[in-house]
Amino acid sequence: MLGLLVVILISWLLVWWKGDNPLIVLGVHPNRQRLKELLLGMAFMAVIAVINFTWQAYIKQISYQVNPDYQFLDFLGGFYWIVQAVLLEEFVFRGVLLYLLIKRIGVVNACLVSSAIFGIYHWFSYEVFGSRIILMIYIFLVTGCGGWMFAFAFAKSKSLFAPVGLHLGWNLVTAIVFSSGPIGEQWLVQHGEEVQWSEWATLLFFTLQAILAPGIATWYLQTRYSSGKASSV
């Protein structure tokens, strides 16, 4: 939490230094439209995550069972950890730095740079830097495409609500529902020995997965905001 507060403070100072209003630049002032974007993003990525894990379970011939030791306090702890982690990443990667990049090099180039940095960042957060090249490519593609989606959502909606919603929807379902993440076993735990895939098959599967959700989100955002609709301040 301290790290998040420091990032927010630095963001505020950078915006003020540039002579802008941080509430406007980051779009953090809540209104009905932005709350709608937050909830819609969460719902969309939650559905994508459920489809993804259901498909994987079928192909890998595994199942999920309810964790008998899972308690409400475990949920609260996991929920808090994920929310603060998502907010930290969004303020760092889709906050002031992306705003400044957009002003300097345009929306598309700025989003590409942001997504590439986000993908590289996950080499280190997942501790895969220097490991097998296929694994590094997979991590870069999946997280980088996600980073594009979050960045484009910020650029089009001019608010952090949309990317936070998309990010939260995926991370909450992935980590809390299917126990796939750094917080360990949560509500559902894997049962059965999965069929092992080759590295190239895994790369192909997850590449297609990474393109689907960002592609739909990009199309939706481009269609919605090209028609002149935007979130009000």
For the segment 146-154, the average pLDDT, to the nearest whole number, is: 96
Q: Does residue 97 lie in a domain region?
A: yes
Q: Does residue 172 lie in a domain region?
A: yes
pTM for this prediction: 0.88
Domain limits for position 199: 2-226
Residue among 66, 226, 209, 87 nearest 141 (CA): 209
Domain count, the chain: 1
Q: Does residue 26 lie in a domain region?
A: yes
Q: pLDDT (tens digit, 9 = 90+) per residue, 183-209?
A: 999 999 998 777 776 666 666 666 666
The whole-number pLDDT of residue 150 equals 97
Q: Does residue 156 lie in a domain region?
A: yes
Q: pLDDT (tens digit, 9 = 90+) per residue, 7-20?
A: 667 666 766 666 67
The whole-number pLDDT of residue 7 equals 61
The whole-number pLDDT of residue 84 equals 92
The whole-number pLDDT of residue 71 equals 95
Q: Does residue 231 lie in a domain region?
A: no
Q: Does residue 233 lie in a domain region?
A: no
Q: pLDDT (tens digit, 9 = 90+) per residue, 52-98?
A: 888 888 878 889 999 999 999 999 999 999 999 999 899 889 988 89
Q: pLDDT (tens digit, 9 = 90+) per residue, 100-146?
A: 899 899 999 999 999 999 999 999 988 899 888 888 988 898 899 99
The whole-number pLDDT of residue 52 equals 85
**Cα first-last separation, the chain:** 27
Encoding tokens for residue 140?
A: 């870069």
Q: pLDDT (tens digit, 9 = 90+) per residue, 170-186?
A: 999 999 999 998 899 99
201-224 burial code (b ≥16 CB/10 A, e <16): eebebbeebbeebbeebbeebeee
Res. 26: pLDDT tops 50: yes
The whole-number pLDDT of residue 233 equals 37
- Looking at per-residue confidence, does 1 or 49 come out higher? 49
Task: Give the chain's mean pLDDT.
Answer: 86
pLDDT band at 231 (very low <50, low <70, confident <90, very high): very low
The whole-number pLDDT of residue 232 equals 41
Read off φ and ψ for residue 198, nearest 5 degrees. -75, 160
Q: Does residue 232 lie in a domain region?
A: no
